[in-house]
Chain A
Amino acid sequence: MAAPTATQVIEQYADQGYKAGFVTDIEQDTLPPGLNEDVVRAISARKREPEWMLEWRLKAYRHWLTMSEPTWPNVTYPKIDFQAYSYFSAPKSAEDRPKSLDEVDPELLATYEKLGIPLREQEMLAGVAVDAVFDSVSVATTFKGKLNELGIIFCSMSEAVHEHPELVRQYLGSVVPYSDNFYATLNSAVFSDGSFVYVPKGVRCPMELSTYFRINALNTGQFERTLIIAEEGSYVSYLEGCTAPMRDENQLHAAVVELVAAKDAQIKYSTVQNWYPGDMETGKGGIYNFVTKRGKCDGDRAKISWTQVETGSAITWKYPSVILKGDDSVGEFYSVALTKGHQQADTGTKMIHIGKNTRSTIVSKGISAGHGQNTYRGQVRINRGADNAHNFSQCDSMLIGDKCGAHTFPYIDVQNPTARMEHEASTSKIGEDQIFYCNQRGIDTENAVSMIVNGFCKEVFRELPMEFAVEAQKLLQVNLEGSVG
């Protein structure tokens, strides 16, 4: 049978079904839908939280009541009824956490298998410690012993609240305050669980720390809360990857990630996001992904680097940012965002230069196909005292087909005359010429499209840790695969 033409592949590309779509049948311990102070208290009680944690949640909840949903993002969706969601859901086994993977619900392990995430294999082969988040509560943590020896804490946020209250109280909300924005404030009130990482002074974390997120319960908002603290001269690389099963109702996700890097510390945070994007034809049912991620380079020469590959969700609203407070500190943002079907993404970064000689780099690659709408929104702000600050921004968009859109909103606010700003932007259409050139060398259209898109994203992929880069490329490839007719 004849191989597809460029147009056909582009259409198939836009029509791609979702490969991670299935639902795991595990009993859920779920609160009824709705949000009020009693719900906040119930969440806190179920997690047996100390009083100060509950107070913090309530403060956030009361503030949230005074806020309204942001309307400035370049996305459209039906009004969210926040009372229609359930705000807590945990697997039953939460009461009695497994001591090892052998004790983990076999069905849960099977779910990971389906996703091609052989947890045990990873543990043994790749040396990755996995803090697996299934819905809202962590169910498996590995390699703890080894990390313990180095004084590294890697646990669930709930555990940290109990075991390391002094650290949580000091740092929670120190980068993203409870009052920060509508979704972050909601998260502060009802956050379910997430990861907590603490790397002590001078320690280089010897392995990539990794969490797989998975939204599973019907109509359950996911409110992950992650906090990573790197003390003076330390280094940590953290991987976050996620997929979600197919559902008919929109699922709300509002996570908060806070990073704190002290003097000479480095944090590398990498994300591959592949949540259910909604029905390809109608856009119905996908995840709403409203995320606040921010890092603070607190000390001199600190460095924070965000790398993200966003291929899923119906709506992505996400701006991983860096506050460059320490002198000579460095912020980086590398992003690939793919929108197809009816997906919408409004994503980018903020680089806030406060310290002297601070440097930031932004590389954003947006790919739109089908009816996808892709917006880059970035802000670079150079404060008055930030002498000799330097920013380099590069925003490239690629269009596949003629029903999609790419938009760029770079905001630049410079208050110090010594700043150096560089900005490059491009928009290209995946060329018939490029595809024909590949065809003429024997490469079929499907592989050609995948090759061209991967090439376009290369500057970002090379920032990812090795095994993640391979996964990300595979993810794009899968998304680009049409069912060859």
Chain B
Amino acid sequence: MALLEIKNLHAGVEGNEILKGIDLSVDHGEVHAIMGPNGSGKSTLAQVLAGREDYEVSAGEVLYDGHDLLDLDPEERAREGVFMAFQYPVEIPGVSNTYFLKAALNAVRKHRGEEELDAVDFLKLVRQRMKLVKMEETLLNRPVNEGFSGGEKKRNEIFHMSVLEPRLAILDETDSGLDIDALRIVADGVNSLRSPDRAFVLITHYQRLLDYIVPDRVHVLVDGRIARSGGKELALELEDQGYAAIEQAARQGAPAAVGA
């Protein structure tokens, strides 16, 4: 059974349909890239999976490990192992990054029936993960994302992921706004977290992220539908030819998927 199974998903905001029938299947340990032009619905898909209240699902279903994902509250999804790295990580003034992360981890652990970590064990874990994703220790005691540079914010998201150890990680345009060095650090972090127990959905506008994180599958989203799917070579083709050809084909009603 696939870890994530999306069937004919329709969703939108305030009666305006954005996702118009998405089908997608992600297996345990796989890395899928979702690409597409601006406004194609990439971020909407991420938000719907994470459980953002503003989006209404009008049809279709999403199974996570065989269970109805859409029935769960956002925090329940998180505790079940769904993680989203935000495109724009939110600042929480006055709340230290470590304090926040400890509350998050212990909420997840409690849900799993594990004991909550005390400060000492937590710090041990945090130090270890910090090294893994090359986080500076100074970012730990600063308030969550407050005053962080764009690169620091994205790295902090990967760091959160490394501590929370999700089974499904959705990265929403994690590459946007990063220079090449920052991009490499983020990609290294993701690669170090790849495992047979962890699947990734990478949402990106640009192919360059996929130079560093090599996906198993690539899907192109156009106007709320998956217009094409393929292997990693599809990303290279897109880099060559841009989205125009696929968009045009989609408008003419050409066959959408090369097998999902």
Chain A contact residues, CB within 8 Å of chain B = 2-3, 5-6, 431-434, 436-445, 447, 451-452, 454-459
Contact = CB atoms under 8 A, between A and B. Distances in A.
A295 B83 CA distance: 53
Given A436-B53, A442-B111, A2 B78 contact: no
Chain A residues touching B, majority SS: helix
A394 to B, nearest CB: 12
Contacts of A445: 75
A438 B99 CA distance: 12
A452 B95 contact: yes
B196 interface: no
A441 B164 contact: yes
Most buried by B among A6, A436, A454, A456: A436
A7 to B, nearest CB: 9
B103 A6 contact: no
B161 to A, nearest CB: 10
A442 B94 contact: no
Given A433-B90, A434-B90, A447-B103, A440 B74 contact: yes
Nearest to B53: A5
B90 A442 contact: no
A437 B90 contact: yes
B93 A2 contact: no
Contacts of B104: 438, 441-443
Contacts of A452: 92, 95
Interface residues on B, range: 20 to 34
B78 A441 contact: yes
Contacts of A438: 75, 92, 100, 104
Nearest to B107: A442
B155 interface: no
A436 B74 contact: yes
A445 B100 CA distance: 13
Contact of B86 (A431, A437, A451, A456): A437
Nearest to A432: B53
B260 to A, nearest CB: 26
A443 B89 contact: no
5 contacts: A432-B54, A440-B77, A441-B101, A441-B160, A458-B95
Interface in B101-118: 101, 103-105, 107-108, 111
Given A432-B53, A437-B86, A451 B100 contact: yes
A437 B146 CA distance: 14
Nearest to A458: B94
B154 interface: no
Interface in B195-214: none
B140 to A, nearest CB: 15
